[in-house]
Amino acid sequence: MDITTLDFFQTQNIIKSRAVSCVEITQKYLTNIAAKKSLNSFISVFHDAALERAEQIDRKIDAGAAGKLAGCTLGIKDLLTLKGAPTTCGSRILANFRSPYNATAIEKLASHDAIFLGKTNMDEFAMGSSTESSCFGAVKNPHDLERVPGGSSGGSAAAVAGNLCTAALGSDTGGSIRQPASFCGIVGLKPTYGRVSRFGLVAYASSLDQIGPMSKSVHDAALLLSCIAGHDPLDSTSARLPVDDYLSFLDKDVHGVRIGLPKEYFAKGLDPEVEKPIREKAELLRKAGAEIVEVSLPHTEYAIAAYYIIAMAEASSNLARFDGARYGFRAANVKDIEEMYVKSRTQGFGEEVKRRIMLGTYALSSGYYDAYYRKAQKVRTLVKKDFEDALARVDCLLTPVAPTTAFKLNEKLADPLIMYLSDVYTVSLNLAGLPGISVPCGVDSKDLPVGLQLIGKPFAEGTIIQVADYIEKNSW
């Protein structure tokens, strides 16, 4: 049996039986990382530090003092800070930067004895849907090396799907956990905005970003969320609400659960090979006693435009701090500070990031603020109201994650607008701040994974975990 193919729930039982040690597990994953470099899923690997930590945790297990994540090996998206480790955000402009502190999510995982294997590759500053914009090169999908893993958390998704780690952390601004999870055939959970502290997360769009787990099973996603969720005084946007016992929502039936199918998400543009397995899972839930009803989200068609205006405007503001003066990349052979700023940012940022900074700056500029940014925020309010109305009738929504399965490398790079439409079913959740989960539900004719999305009410992650777990355990 190859232990690297197992989820943490299965691995944990083997560890408890003393059939395998944390050091042995860690070494197996490190061996896989070295053997599968072609995936390009890791930017940095903490080989010695991971083995040393595994030894420490083995001693804690022997003493009966180990945490709930003892033996869980994790990949960390490289926009979460880990003290003493590189944090590049997939960008040249953060070359050689090492964080002096841990993100709150990292601190919480460490307190439960997780083992960090390394930092995973990503679209530069999380701006992308294919993980092709990283300065470290494109990540490849483990199911087909000629296809993308999705983005921007493509390195995390490929690492989990390729058995290079037990699970991983990603971030989701407009679908960056859920879409790569769908493309790679794993579970990806985006919590409610404010459910997980963003302290130590390098911001792309502060009102949209959220950290979440990417895993081989719904169980592992629920466990990891339970470890990282909760209020944090270092993040003023984190919610002062109690954290549910997410594991208690597992192994339940779905009898009586009301599930809505938004008609706008099953319209023109959805690949029939994606729609078919999703419809089949809806029927599975209906036969199990769930009530399936059609609902409407009438402002869906405006969500993409509103999202990209808001996200790019916030990116323009957030990325102003990367100027070559304090840390990271600095251009050489400059005559004054203004030239240093211009050349450092021109040479340090990639094309997609520069495109979004310029568009965001334009949307915020005098004379255009009301026409673009303010109008986008009004649309955001309408999108949020759509969800409130729909979720007043049902317990959760069931939708596609993406209109297609994983597309080929370089297929959409020439047309950014086509690339942006990959997020058509995911960005609305971020605008509304709602929780969503992608769970595998089948494959297309090319044997590429198809993901199904469940959308919950604010801070009702338990409901979507319950339904996702039922789908996972009754689909094969």
Residue 475 has pLDDT above 80, yes or no: no
Residue 38 has pLDDT above 70, yes or no: yes
The answer for residues whose C-beta is within 8 angstroms of residue 121's C-beta and 6 or more apart is 40, 41, 42, 43, 78, 90, 131, 134, 136, 137, 139, 154, 155
The 10s digit of each residue's pLDDT in 268-297 is 999 999 999 999 999 999 999 999 999 999
The 10s digit of each residue's pLDDT in 135-177 is 999 999 999 999 999 999 999 999 999 999 999 999 999 999 9
Residue 34 has pLDDT above 80, yes or no: yes
The 10s digit of each residue's pLDDT in 79-88 is 999 999 999 9
Nearest CA among 254, 314, 249 for reference residue 286: 254
Residue of 176, 238, 316, 344 with catalytic role: 176
Helix, strand, or coil (residue 21): coil
Q: What tokens does 180 get?
A: 């790569």
Residue 352 has pLDDT above 70, yes or no: yes
The 10s digit of each residue's pLDDT in 80-131 is 999 999 999 999 999 989 999 999 999 999 999 999 999 999 999 999 999 9
Give backbone dihedrals phi and psi of 212, rounded to 5 degrees, phi first: -160, 165
Task: Identify the sign of the CA torsion 437, 439, 441, 446.
Answer: positive
The 10s digit of each residue's pLDDT in 6-30 is 999 999 999 999 999 999 999 999 9
Q: What tokens does 385 get?
A: 């109201």
| pLDDT (0 to 100) of residue 406 | 97
Residue showing tokens 């010695």: 48
Q: At what angle do helices 461-473 and 218-228 cross, to 10 degrees?
A: 160
| pLDDT (0 to 100) of residue 414 | 86
Distance between CA atoms of 2 and 23, rounded to whole angstroms? 15
Nearest CA among 126, 188, 117, 135 for reference residue 157: 188
Q: Give the torsion through C-alpha atoms of 314, 315, 316, 319, to 10 deg.
A: 130
pLDDT band at 449 (very low <50, low <70, confident <90, very high): very high
Residue of 36, 77, 119, 281 with catalytic role: 77
Beta bridge partners of 196: 229
Omega before 91 within 30 of 0, i.e. cis: no
Nearest CA among 288, 293, 471 for reference residue 392: 293
CATH number at residue 251: 3.90.1300.10
The 10s digit of each residue's pLDDT in 178-210 is 999 999 999 999 999 999 999 999 999 999 999
In order, the DSSP letters of 387-405 are HHHHHTT-SEEEEES-SSS
Distance between CA atoms of 39 and 475, rounded to whole angstroms? 28
Domain residue limits at 456: 1-476
| pLDDT (0 to 100) of residue 476 | 63
* Stretch (H or E) spanning 364: helix 351-364
238 in active site: no
Angle at CA of residue 214, ends 91 and 39, nearest 5°: 55
Give backbone dihedrals phi and psi of 354, rounded to 5 degrees, phi first: -65, -40
| pLDDT (0 to 100) of residue 417 | 80
| pLDDT (0 to 100) of residue 353 | 97
Residue 375 has pLDDT above 90, yes or no: yes
Residue showing tokens 């502060």: 206
The answer for residues whose C-beta is within 8 angstroms of residue 378's C-beta and 6 or more apart is none
152 in active site: yes
Residue of 152, 197, 226, 316 with catalytic role: 152
AA letter at 337? I
- pTM over 0.85? The answer is yes
For the chain, what is the domain count?
Answer: 1
